[in-house]
């Protein structure tokens, strides 16, 4: 697998220290020291493959570590915090990602109706995990990223290579995640629908009973399944969405602390500042000033 990784590193050598588009739909790359505030975000469902260095992802208190020997799958939108590190020689972190498209997954599964389900499940059915990378998966990524050198081939070939990457994930220990997000009767799919409602209405009061009814669950079952999938309670999920959005508003310099607090649904700016400091380590104004200074020095 060393040759495959070396070719992937060469193909992505021009990635920058922020999400860098490749010209291939849903495929992006990133390299270098990424500012902490960019790594604390709501992450889209994705397959993430590290080519050099390592990364830690913290989701609801659970920390996962991965490197070029492993890959990461997240199957629902989740607020998370990341930390990236260079390799043992100090060479910068480098990674690629494929954002998951439910329609593409559903179409693949329809065409693979006879594909056996390996019945491998995370013990707690969480919607994110890490697995050992395989030579077959790296081969699929090599074919996909070679398209950057032949952009005229992207419309014809990228869909096939995307399906190949997803097929390799389906064959692995996290394949069940892909199956369940496109199977409407699974708990994961129903929780995912609730997540979309919370994300779109994050500034409104949380109505857990309505979310539970929309998920065809009792309130207690909804709470249990939501925590299992996301590692967060519904209220914790909403709070993290609010605070991340507030940080974005503050960084645009168009909002003061009180304005940002009200914009994301807080009635009390004092409570907002207290919860903001608990999450980000500093009160809002000092946190924004620190980030601004880092951006200037970077």
Q: What is the pLDDT of residues 211-226, one digit of tens each?
A: 999 999 999 999 999 9
CATH classification number, 187-235, choose in 1.10.10, 1.10.150, 3.40.50, 1.10.3470:
1.10.10
Q: How high is the pLDDT of residue 121?
A: 52
CA 200 to chain CA mean position, Å: 17
State how far the alpha carbon of 87 is from the alpha carbons of 31, 54, 59, 184, in Å. Answer: 12, 7, 23, 41
- In the numeric block, the tokens 């890959």 are attached to 71
Report the pLDDT value the prediction gives residue 62, as an integer from 0 to 100. 92
Same fold, 187-235 and 240-297: yes
Q: In the prediction, which pLDDT does 123 show?
A: 45
Q: What's the CATH class of domain 2-181? A: mainly beta
Please give the pLDDT value at position 116: 66
pTM of the model: 0.92
The whole-number pLDDT of residue 5 equals 97
Per-residue DSSP letter, 115? P
Per-residue pLDDT, 32: 95
Helices (H) and strands (E) counted in the chain, each on its own, are 13, 10
Q: In the CATH scheme, what is the code of domain 240-297?
A: 1.10.10.60
Q: Where are the domains of the chain?
A: 2-181, 187-235, 240-297
Instruction: State residue 253's pLDDT score.
Output: 72
Ranges of residues in the chain with a pLDDT under 50 are 122-123
Provide the pLDDT for residue 248.
93
Distance separating alpha carbons of residues 265 and 262, to the nearest angstrom: 5
């Amino acid at each position: 697998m060393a040759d495959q990784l070396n070719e992937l590193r060469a193909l992505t050598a021009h990635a920058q220290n922020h999400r860098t588009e490749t010209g291939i739909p849903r495929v992006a790359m990133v390299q270098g020291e990424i500012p902490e505030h960019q790594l604390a975000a709501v992450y889209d469902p994705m397959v993430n493959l590290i080519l050099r260095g390592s990364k830690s992802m913290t989701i609801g208190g659970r920390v996962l570590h991965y490197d070029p020997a492993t890959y990461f799958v997240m199957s629902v939108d989740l607020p998370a915090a990341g930390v990236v590190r260079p390799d043992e020689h100090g060479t910068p972190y480098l990674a690629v990602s494929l954002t998951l498209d439910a329609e593409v997954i559903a179409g693949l599964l329809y065409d693979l109706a006879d594909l056996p389900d390996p019945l491998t499940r995370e013990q707690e059915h969480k919607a994110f995990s890490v697995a050992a990378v395989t030579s077959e998966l790296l081969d699929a990524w090599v074919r996909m990223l070679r398209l950057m050198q032949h952009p005229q081939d992207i419309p014809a070939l990228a869909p096939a290579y995307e399906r190949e990457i997803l097929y390799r994930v389906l064959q692995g220990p996290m394949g069940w995640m892909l199956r369940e997000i496109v199977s409407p009767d699974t708990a994961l799919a129903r929780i995912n629908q609730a997540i979309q409602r919370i994300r779109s209405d994050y500034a409104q009061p949380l109505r857990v009973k309505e979310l539970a009814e929309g998920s065809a669950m009792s309130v207690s079952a909804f709470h249990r399944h939501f925590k299992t999938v996301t590692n967060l309670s519904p209220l914790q999920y909403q709070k993290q969405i609010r605070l991340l959005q507030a940080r974005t508003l503050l960084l645009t310099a168009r909002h003061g602390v009180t304005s940002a607090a009200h914009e994301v649904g807080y009635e009390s700016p004092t409570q907002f500042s207290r919860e903001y400091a608990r999450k980000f380590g500093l009160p809002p104004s000092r946190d924004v000033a620190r980030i601004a200074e880092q951006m200037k020095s970077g």
